[in-house]
Amino acid sequence: MTESPAEVWTNACIATMDGPEPFGLITDGAVALGNDRIQWVGKRSELPPPFDRWPDKDLHGRLVTPGLIDCHTHLVHGGNRAREFEMRLMGSSYAQIAREGGGIMATVRATRAETVESLFRSALPRLDALIAEGVTTVEIKSGYGMDFETESTMLRAARALGSLRKISVLTSFLGAHAVPEDFRHDPDRYIDEVCLPALDRAHADGLVDAVDGFCETIAFSPDQIKRVFERARQHGLPVKLHADQLSDLGGAKLAAGFGALSADHLEYTNAAGARAMAESGTVATLLPGAYYTLRETRLPPVDLFRNHGVPIAVATDANPGSSPITSLLTIMNMACTLFRLTPEEAFLGATRNAALALGLHDRGIVREGYRADLAVWDVDHPREIPSRIGPNPLVDRICGGGT
């Protein structure tokens, strides 16, 4: 990968996702790049020295945005769940399949049979699909091992993906994803004997950037999630939570109580949960891919989040079961079409707010001093991108100044 030289992009329409203007739009704009950072951004007519003497690159009026951020994925996993896709088409429910030992546990059985190398190789095409759509930062979870070794194996594969491709990878430990078969009648013992020791080990090996959990009737109770989050707190790790996806267990409020970076899914989140998230600065990460795939009918309370000033992010939730989708552009369209976000909210959800959902404050906005993570699109206005599904309008992408 080559580092890009210091240069000024000119004759660009820039959606900074910053400031009071819709999309933070700057027409006939310029952005100066150097040392992997944005050095200046503004109207081309106001370009100050020394940037006005730097080599320039004419973008011919194309759109520049922050590089996209996919803040919730399960990209690393073994096997596929196409058979369950057929079963659901024939009337089985996601929860029923999970209760019968399928669902997440089917992928666990497949993943435990893999190595770091094989998990890395099978995830690479999924990562490349995101990169092809302008993604410059991606979050990747464990959660299909749920044993002492495989949780770390998954996270090592995730770290390897970030070293081979020009993209930032953040990892989340998701040992509390589902109750493994041999602990089916004693989930507390799974938390104590497997999940927490696996977290301790993965953290000690530098594999964990955040800790996640699945708080749901088919997964873990609020009390069990609390124990995982208390261990995360002991390690100084931030938390996030799959919350209120299929029922209201107060997951959003629980997450907010731990100052979570984000609470995700949220179809069943109530007003108390939204209030708590607003007070704690927890981001609402909406996952329309899972809502679409599982043909859910309960919409997340978008107006509650809006009215309480809760930042909204959107993400693929790319996983083999509930959201087998590796297109963040499609997710942006679904967030508008299914959840009624505006195109600007969808774009904020895949840039600025997605960065906040990962605890990142150096990207997601085109602003001086931020990372030179940028995407260039062959469209006239940013609203065009969430307004359609295909063709992919990306024409260039730089990550930390490099390609």
Residue numbers 257-296 binding ligand DI6 by CB under 6 A? 290
107 binds, among Fe ion, ligand DI6, none (CB under 5 to 8 A by kind): ligand DI6
Residue closer to ligand DI6 by CB (options 109, 166) is: 109
Q: Could you say which DSSP state residue 4 is in?
A: P
Determine how many CB atoms are found less than 10 A away from the CB of residue 5. Answer: 11
Residue closer to ligand DI6 by CB (options 137, 293) is: 293
CA-to-CA distance for 350 and 162, rounded, in angstroms?
19
Enter the tokens of residue 156.
């090592």
320 binds, among ligand DI6, Fe ion, none (CB under 5 to 8 A by kind): ligand DI6
Mapped onto helix, strand or coil, the DSSP state of residue 371 is strand
Taking CB under 6 A as the rule, does residue 122 contact ligand DI6? Answer: no
Enter the tokens of residue 400.
């930390």
Nearest distance, CB of residue 350 and ligand DI6, angstroms:
18
Here's the x/- map for ligand DI6, 294-333, by CB under 6 A: it reads as -----------------------x-xxxxx----------
Q: What share of the chain is helix, strand, coil (3-state, %, to 5)?
A: 40, 20, 40
What type of residue is 367?
R
Q: Taken in order 143, 146, 148, 150, is the CA torsion positive or negative? A: negative
Segment interacting with ligand DI6 (CB under 6 A) among 99-107, 127-135, 165-173, 268-276: 99-107
The answer to whether the beta carbons of residues 168 and 136 sit under 8 Å apart is yes
Cα torsion 33, 34, 40, 44 to 10°: value is -50
Taking CB under 5 A as the rule, does residue 317 contact Fe ion? Answer: yes
Q: How far apart are the first and last CA of the chain?
A: 6
Give the one residue of 104, 176, 310, 348 binding ligand DI6; rule: CB under 6 A: 104
User: Quick one: how far is CA 33 from the chain centroid?
Assistant: 26
- When CB distances to ligand DI6 are compared, the closest residue is 321
Taking CB under 6 A as the rule, does residue 250 contact ligand DI6? Answer: no
Nearest distance, CB of residue 246 and ligand DI6, angstroms:
9
Residues within the interface to ligand DI6 (CB under 6 A): 74, 103-104, 107, 177, 214, 242, 245, 290, 317, 319-323
Residues within the interface to Fe ion (CB under 5 A): 317
